[in-house]
Amino acid sequence: MPYSRFVAIGDSQTEGMCDGDDRAGYRGWADRLAARIAQVNPDLLYANLAIRGKNTRNVLAEQLEPALALEPDLIAAPLGMNDVIGRIELADVERDLRAIYSRLAESGATVLISTFPNMRDTNPFGRRFEHRLLQINQMMRDFAEEFSFVLADLHAAPVLTDRRSWSQDYLHASPSGHDRFAAGAAYALGLPGSDPDWGARHGDPKSRNALVGVVQDVRWLVVFLTPWLIRKVRGISLGDGRTPKRPDLQPVLGSAFPPL
C-alpha cells in the first residue's frame, strides 16, 4: 500500500454492466474501487480487461496473460458467476480457477477475489442455482486461504440481499450495488477510511406488492431471460467480438475516467 498498478479481470459485473450504459460507458465496482484507491495514491494506473459473458475458461484463455503482462501490484479476479448460471461442471471450473489463481499468486501482486451475493430472494431463479453458488463461494474461501488472497465476502452482506442493490435484470448490480461491492473490496484491502459497516442494509428493505411482483417477474422472463436462453441455444455471448473497455494502464485522475 498504496497500490500503483491495478488490473481487473472477469465478466460483466467487473466490466460494470448496469452501472451506466453503452452510450455513456460503464463504471462498475472495479472502476469505483480504482477511484477510492486514487484518493490514497493519485498516481494510480488502472486497466480493466473484463468483458461481459465471459466464463472462467474464457478468462484463462483470453485475459490472464494480458493482465500479467501489465505487471500489476493489485489484481481483482472475482470469477465464476457465469459458470454457475451456465451449468458448467464445477469440477472443470475449479481446475480453471486453480490454473488462474496459481499464476496470479506467482506474480507477487495482491489478489482480490470475492464470494458471490446470496441471490435466493433477489432473482426468480436464485433458489435453483443456490447450491452451485454456495459451492463456488466455498472454492473462493479455500483459494483465498491457500494463496493468501484478499477476500471480499459479498455473501455475508445484508445490503446485497436487498432488491435495491440489483438492476432490472436481477443479475447485475445496480449502481448502489456496485458501490457496495467497491466499499467491501476497499475494506477487505484495508484502504484508509474504508467503512467496516459497508455491508449493512440501509433502512428497511422495500417490500413488493404480490401482484406487482408477478408483473415484474413476467416482464423479466420476457425482456431478459428469454433473450438469454435464445443466445445460449445459439451459442452466442454478449461478449462476442467485444474488446476490453480499458485494455491499458491509464491514470485514474486527470483522464477520461468516469467521475463518481
Partners of 113 in beta bridges: 151
Partners of 21 in beta bridges: 25
Nearest to 151 by CA among 188, 100, 116, 118: 188
CA 213, CA 239: separation in Å to the nearest integer? 30
Partners of 111 in beta bridges: 75
CA 13, CA 28: separation in Å to the nearest integer? 7
CA distances from 210 to 221, 239, 244 (A): 17, 35, 40
Bond before 78 cis per omega within 30 degrees: no
H helices of the chain, where?
A: 12-15, 28-40, 56-62, 64-69, 81-85, 90-106, 130-147, 175-189, 210-220, 226-234
Record the cell numbers describing residue 208, joined without a space.
413488493
Instruction: Output the tens digit of pLDDT for each of the chain's 260 residues.
Output: 689 999 999 999 999 998 988 787 899 999 999 999 999 999 999 999 999 999 999 999 999 999 999 999 999 999 999 898 888 999 999 999 999 999 999 999 999 999 999 887 766 666 778 899 999 999 999 999 999 999 999 999 999 988 889 888 778 899 999 999 999 999 999 999 999 999 998 765 555 545 444 445 545 444 455 555 555 556 666 667 789 999 999 999 876 655 54
At 254, which amino acid appears? G
Half-sphere exposure of 103 (CA within 13 A, CB side): 18
Name the packing angle between helices 175-189 and 28-40 (round to 10°).
Answer: 40
CATH class given for the domain over 5-206+243-251 = alpha beta
The helix/strand count (H/E) of the chain reads as 10, 8
- Which residue has cell 463461494? 137
At 144, which amino acid appears? A
